[in-house]
Structure 1
Amino acid sequence: MNSCYITLTKRDVKIFISVVINMAAWSSFRKAVWGWSPQNCIARSQLNDFNAALGVQKCMMSGGHGPRYMPLTPSRWQWHRFKDMAHYYFMIGLIPVGLIVFYANVFIGPAKLAEIPEGYEPKYWEYHRHPITRFLARYLLPSPQQDYEKFLHRMYEEDEKAKIRKLEKKIRLKMAERRDYQGYYARPVDAKYHRVSKEAADYLESLRGD
């Protein structure tokens, strides 16, 4: 096998190194010029604006030394729904109620005791001091008279039940003393009305004919 040896001088080595450096520089310059062309600049700017508008988070799936995976997080839909409902009920509930309470305490204020005019009978809600309490007692809560009548009706029902239990107890004692028992009987039925209805049916049948 023939072999040949090439002898390089220091000048040849310097020329070779300069040629390699120039080739690498021109290659990098070519890539930079291609990457920063007007068309690519416009496309990249539009893509960045689109990603920023949609909130797209890019995940680099390669090019790193770590594990190649995309992290998965649990859904936060319930948490966001809870926050939305809390804000909703806060806006339609607490804020209006706070404004009503503020208006009632600042602009109306609590009522004061005064002499009752002659011939005037105060309403039951006028005995309350605070305006909100008076409003609730007038339009939402039952009147004291209604509560009193309901209580009397309840007491009447309980009294009637007690009387019935007492009478039933007496009856059972008498049945035990006399050795009696509960007997069933059949109520006799008068056949007069049955005959009348049968005669009416026969008469209607004769009118209709064949």
Structure 2
Amino acid sequence: MILSTLKNVGQLTKRIVKSPMTQRTMSEHREFPLLPSKYTWTKFKDLVHFYVMLGVIPSTLVITYCNVFIGPATLSEIPEDYTPKYWEYHRHPITRFIAKYLTANPQQEYEKYLAHLYIEDEKRCIRKLEEKIKLKMKERDDYQAYYYRPVLAKYHRRVKQASDYIESIQGD
């Protein structure tokens, strides 16, 4: 009885050894194909899809909400004591939002432009006056103060202090 059981175990081990899972077939010619990696391409696609969906879905929802529930502005009479704001002249609600919160006031921009023009005009007048002064100085050839380069007095004070100190050390 024991021998017959051992015989069955031997046959079982032969079957296990002969199974394709445990046998190593080294005689076949299998190669690992060298292909370029697709990691960067798939990562790029994933990031593009992620960021497009991150921006497209919310903006589509906001635009749809504005178009369906709010709608475009309509013209109406303005009360006499009311002055409309600059963003109220736009028709679409998204354009009004952009004009109100993201762009500058057109009146303020215009005044900045006028200030820039004024400063440039002042510079032009000063340049013109300098040219007249140089021309007169060249004509008369008697005044050299325009070409004088001012000297900073702090260096003269330092030199005087140093010379006084040296004189006090040396004596007479």
Code of the residue aligned with 1:111 in structure 2: it is A
Q: Which residue of 1 aligns with 2:131?
A: 169
1:43-58 equivalences in 2 (<5 Å): none
Kindly indicate whether the alpha-carbon contact (under 8 Å) linking 1:128 and 1:134 is maintained by their aligned counterparts in 2.
yes
Q: Distance in 1 between matches of 2:72 and 2:88?
A: 12
Q: Is the 8 Å Cα contact of residues 61 and 69 (structure 1) preserved in structure 2?
A: no
Q: Deviations over 1:72-115 (max 9, x none)?
A: 11122211121121111112111111111111111111001100
- Residue 72 (str. 1) matches residue 34 (str. 2): yes
Task: Note the 1:87-106 alignment, pairs <5 A.
Answer: 87-106=49-68
- Is the aligned partner of 1:126 residue 2:108? no
Q: Match of 2:7?
A: none
Q: 1:109 aligns with which of 54, 71, 75?
A: 71
Query: What SS class does the counterpart of residue 119 from structure 1 fall into?
Result: coil
- Relative to 1, partners in 2 of residues 1:187 and 1:91: Cα closer, same or farther, differing over 3 Å? closer
Show the counterpart of 1:63. 28
Alignment RMSD: 3.4
Q: Flag the 1:61–1:122 CA change in 2: closer, same or farther, 3 A.
A: farther
1:83 has 2:45 as partner: yes
Specify the code of the residue in structure 2 equivalent to 1:80.
Answer: T
Q: Which consecutive unaligned segments of at least 5 residues does structure 2 have?
A: 1-10, 161-172
CA positional deviation for 1:174: 1.2
- For structure 1, the residue ranges without an aligned partner over 5 or more in a row are 1-29, 48-59, 195-210
The aligned amino acid for 2:28 is G
1:158 aligns with 2:115: no
Distance in 2, matches of 1:61 and 1:123, equals: 84
Mark the CA change 1:150 to 1:62 in structure 2 (over 3 Å): closer, same or farther: farther
SS at match of 1:165: helix
Higher relative contact order, chain-length normalized (CA < 8 Å, sep 6+) = 2
Tell me what 2:148 maps to. 183
Structure 2 match to 1:34: 15
Confirm or deny: 8 A CA contact 1:61 1:70 kept in the other structure.
no
Native 8 Å contact 1:112 1:129 kept in 2: yes
Distance 1:184 1:34, change over 3 A: closer
Q: Percent identity?
A: 52
